[in-house]
Amino acid sequence: MAVVVAVFGLAMLPVGQAAQVSDVTVDEGSVTVAPDSNEETTTNEITISTDGEDGTVSPSVRITETPSGIDVDSTDPGEIEAGDSDTAELTITVAADADSGTVEGDVDGVAFSFDVTVDNPPLAEIDDDSLDLGDALVGETESGEIVVEEVGGDQGLDGVDWEVVNDDFDGDLSLTDMDGSGFGEGSIETTPGGEDTAQWEVTVDDSVDQHETLEWTVELSDQSTQATREVDVEARVIYPAEYGEIELDAAGIRPHPEFVFDEPRDQNDELTQTFEFDLTNDGDLPLEPSDVSASSSEAGLSITVGDLPDEIEGQSSETVEVTVTADTDLEEGEYDFSMSASAEDFDIDDETYDEDLEISHEAELGVEHTVSIGDVPIGESEQVATEIGEELGYYDVSNLEITLDEGPDSWLELEESPTELEAGDASQAVFELEFDTEADLGTDYEWQYEVEGDDVESETITVIASPVPLDLDPIRNDLSNHDGTVASDTLEIVDAMDDEMETADAGDVSLVLSFGSSSTLYLESMADATELIENGEHDDAQREVVQAAAAYNTMALYAEQFESAEYRSDSEAVLAEAETDLEELTDTQDAHYEERLESGERSLLEAATIHRELSRIALLQGDEDRADEHQDDADEAFEAYSESVSEGETAAQEAEETWTAMEDDQFVTVAGQPLLLNPANYDAVTRQSEELRDQYEAATAALNDAGETSRADSVASERDERLATLGTAQLSLVVATGIYGLVTVGIVIRTARRMYVYVQDTRESVSGDFLL
């Protein structure tokens, strides 16, 4: 850069006798800046003249205005005597991008100025001194065009020399069409501030890491002035397309595909689940997949692959869907699973995926989420059952618990609940509800129960019920259907409770209801028993008597629990009357069975039954010793009965075995009828026939003694049938014996005749008569 400084001096004549600056003269001059510098510094002088008659002055130099990019520093000359002069040096620093212009200043008020002309050499610049060549493929050569701009602004470029002053050993950089040296087609030629194009070429080594940045520093110089400028050049190394690892799209959640059996087994022979896998292109160029396959050696698994992406951009991934269909009979566990992906470009290696496919079974609770009991009268007990099941059918649920989570702590109780569920099965949970008088009528109460078990998601059951006033009319109507003191007195207790419902003890309300129900059952059983006894059906009446006694005991149990002394007293009076009626009925039954016991012959079963009934009556009468005696007699009779039945059945079995032996050894069956055709078996048949008859007689006698008359009749019928069959068989033996005799006589006669003929022939041969 050349700097030309033009100086123009201005003079002023002060008035007065003291020494003062009278004139300032700036020497003219010019400076040429070296082409390899960023700035140029030069000096110039100004001459300062004084006037006056005596004394000295110390003038001060001040720069007031400079062009852009130009800096001027000055030094003061020191003391100057009146009428004398001295010089001061100006240091002018011109930047590489400075503008021409005027420098202005003054010395103690005496102004001066000079012009500075900046003459810049031509400078070559590429892309603001920082050139990014973009991506370069590893192991390949890339090329492209660059724009070279003249930025000095005063002269044009005519050829540019270049040199790599900071090299990168992982790649080679070269520029062409720059200096006209014969390498390339031409050289850079521009006007001031103009531009021209050239070519670049980069060759990347094979071993460079992906995405490594190659960096060079190139020095550019104008061929005429040798003014230099540096350019930083860089290129990013990229790789060709290549498959990365095939990854499960949910790999961040689980490392391998997991197939969860979460649908009912009994409704599905097979289940289907779709997995998403990411096909990754670890390279930088696009990848075109050609095929993706998936398979498993397990026969119960069927695997298909969905549509493939047309292209996978560099450093990205695309999703492919893999659908697995599994038989629901497959057990939990890990099954082999593999995938393979290939590309249209045969230079790209296939990628494989080998991971286990995990099959896991789920259990699921099935519940009725809302159980509505509805309106429940205060004091009445209401039960409701709801089903809890395992819905999927793959494995059992153990440690099942049903716990109250929200709702009142009273009135509703969980009476029954399963502790485990077999896969696919269900069981019932039973709730029992009984409101007392503290419950608000008409309010919908809710109880929320949580159902939990091992390895299964919990479920919630909400039970809803509303208390309503107790309606005693049904019990009142039942009691009104019966006559007698027990019915009327119980009815009075029920009526009293109806009048005192709102103020009565909550427990007594429920007890009156229960006492009334038990009384109704007592009266019904007593009425039925009385009618049966009158009709002579004592055995059927015995059941009703026992039921009446059980109802009486229940009444007594409730009577003891009344909080109110009045209710307790009234109920005890009812019990006393009921006890009297019950004793009369049991005494009648006792007399009947005693009479039967003493009436004469009876089977062992009848004796055991009578003693058992008498034992039950004695217990009802409170006579435990007599009850034990009759029970011992009943046990003894039952034991004898069992022995007699056993003897009868044993004899019947022996008869069966004898008959089977005769069928196998003696009989010949013709048209379904057993026959005896061998006279040699006569004795054996006779002996076995006697055994068969005796065995059947023993069987029928023992069974009749035991009282098993129907079985005895069956055995006797079988005996008669087989003895008749045996008679027919024995008759066939007699016929066979006669036939055998006739056949024997015939054989003897035929043999005698043949012997006679033989003797005659012999005699003729000896005498020679046969020759006549």
* Cα–Cα distance measured from residue 492 to residue 246, given in angstroms and rounded to the nearest whole number: 87
Beta-sheet strands, E only, within 677-758: none
Residues 567 and 485 in one domain: yes
* Cα–Cα distance measured from residue 726 to residue 732, given in angstroms and rounded to the nearest whole number: 10
Length of the chain: 772
Residue ranges in 538-676 assigned as alpha helix (H): 538-559, 565-597, 604-621, 624-665
Count H helices, E strands: the chain? 9, 38
For residue 245, count other CB atoms closer than 10 A to its CB. Answer: 12
Residues 277 and 357 in one domain: yes
In a domain, 745, yes or no: no
- Among 302, 292, 300, 297, CA closest to 324: 302
Residues 138 and 222 in one domain: yes
Close Cβ partners of 396 (under 8 Å, ≥ 6 residues apart): 363, 390, 420, 421, 422, 423
Close Cβ partners of 326 (under 8 Å, ≥ 6 residues apart): 259, 261, 270, 271, 272, 273, 300, 301, 302, 359
Q: What pLDDT is attached to residue 730?
A: 56
In a domain, 740, yes or no: no
Residue ranges in 246-386 assigned as alpha helix (H): none
What residue type is 769 in one-letter code? D
Q: Helices 538-559 and 604-621 meet at what angle, rounded to 10?
A: 20
In a domain, 614, yes or no: no
- Among 90, 98, 116, CA closest to 37: 98
- Among 208, 236, 203, 229, CA closest to 133: 236
For residue 545, count other CB atoms closer than 10 A to its CB. Answer: 26
Q: Would strands 70-74 and 85-95 be described as parallel, antiparallel, or unpaired?
A: antiparallel
Q: Which tokens go with 326?
A: 């599994």
* Domain end residue (candidates: 119, 151, 183): 119
DSSP state at residue 717: H
- Among 126, 122, 135, CA closest to 240: 135
Q: Which residue has the tokens 């298909």?
A: 304
Hey, which residues does 479 pair with through a beta bridge?
Answer: none
Close Cβ partners of 281 (under 8 Å, ≥ 6 residues apart): 241, 242, 243, 244, 287, 312, 313, 314, 315, 316, 317
DSSP state at residue 297: S
pTM beyond 0.75: no
Q: Which tokens go with 730?
A: 């024995």
In a domain, 152, yes or no: yes
Residues 486 and 436 in one domain: no
What residue type is 494 in one-letter code? V
Max CA distance (Å), the chain: 228
What is the CATH classification number for the domain harbouring 37?
2.60.40
* Cα–Cα distance measured from residue 542 to residue 586, given in angstroms and rounded to the nearest whole number: 9
Q: What pLDDT is attached to residue 472?
A: 78
Residues 115 and 130 in one domain: no
Residues 560 and 444 in one domain: no
In a domain, 627, yes or no: no
* Cα–Cα distance measured from residue 29 to residue 92, given in angstroms and rounded to the nearest whole number: 11
Residues 463 and 511 in one domain: no
In a domain, 449, yes or no: yes
**pLDDT tens per residue across span 461-486:** 999 999 988 777 888 888 888 888 88
Phi, psi of 368, deg, nearest 5: -85, 105
* 3-state DSSP assignment of residue 738: helix
* Cα–Cα distance measured from residue 429 to residue 405, given in angstroms and rounded to the nearest whole number: 16
Q: Which residue has the tokens 């919630």?
A: 460
Q: Which residue has the tokens 């008088």?
A: 437
What residue type is 403 in one-letter code? T
In a domain, 564, yes or no: yes
Q: Which mean pLDDT values do the consecutive 10-residue runs of the chain (772 residues) have?
A: 48 59 76 56 86 87 89 88 88 81 89 82 83 93 91 81 92 86 69 89 94 94 79 95 88 75 92 94 95 94 95 94 95 94 93 93 93 88 93 93 94 94 94 87 93 94 90 82 87 83 76 86 88 86 84 88 88 88 81 74 64 69 69 66 72 76 62 55 68 74 69 76 66 51 46 51 48 38
Q: Helices 473-480 and 506-534 meet at what angle, rounded to 10?
A: 30
* Cα–Cα distance measured from residue 107 to residue 85, given in angstroms and rounded to the nearest whole number: 13
**pLDDT tens per residue across span 140-195:** 999 999 999 988 767 788 888 889 999 999 999 999 888 766 455 678 888 888 99
Residues 112 and 32 in one domain: yes
- Among 304, 296, 306, 302, CA closest to 270: 302
Residues 324 and 276 in one domain: yes
Q: What pLDDT is attached to residue 13?
A: 44
Q: What pLDDT is attached to residue 7?
A: 47
Task: For residue 82, give its domain range.
Answer: 2-119
Residues 460 and 574 in one domain: no
Q: What pLDDT is attached to residue 609?
A: 67
Close Cβ partners of 176 (under 8 Å, ≥ 6 residues apart): 183, 184, 185, 198, 199, 200, 201
DSSP state at residue 682: H
Helix (H) or strand (E) holding 742: helix 709-767
Q: What pLDDT is attached to residue 265?
A: 92
* Cα–Cα distance measured from residue 141 to residue 721, given in angstroms and rounded to the nearest whole number: 116
* Domain end residue (candidates: 180, 208, 238): 238
Close Cβ partners of 13 (under 8 Å, ≥ 6 residues apart): 22, 51
What is the CATH classification number for the domain harbouring 452?
2.60.40.10
Q: How far is CA 65 from the centre of its chain?
A: 84
Q: What pLDDT is attached to residue 339?
A: 95
Q: Would strands 270-281 and 316-327 be described as parallel, antiparallel, or unpaired?
A: antiparallel
Q: What pLDDT is attached to residue 634?
A: 64
What is the CATH classification number for the domain harbouring 555?
1.20.1440
* Cα–Cα distance measured from residue 296 to residue 364, given in angstroms and rounded to the nearest whole number: 28
Rg (alpha carbons) of the chain, rounded to whole number: 65
Q: How far is CA 125 from the centre of its chain?
A: 67
* Domain end residue (candidates: 103, 119, 135): 119
Burial of 390 (0-12, 13-18, 19+ CB in 10 A): buried
Task: Tell me how many domains the chain contains.
Answer: 5
Q: What pLDDT is attached to residue 36?
A: 47
Residues 491 and 521 in one domain: yes
Terminal Cα distance for the chain, rounded: 184
* Cα–Cα distance measured from residue 480 to residue 492, given in angstroms and rounded to the nearest whole number: 11
Q: Which tokens go with 745?
A: 């006589």
Residues 345 and 373 in one domain: no
In a domain, 763, yes or no: no
What residue type is 503 in one-letter code? T
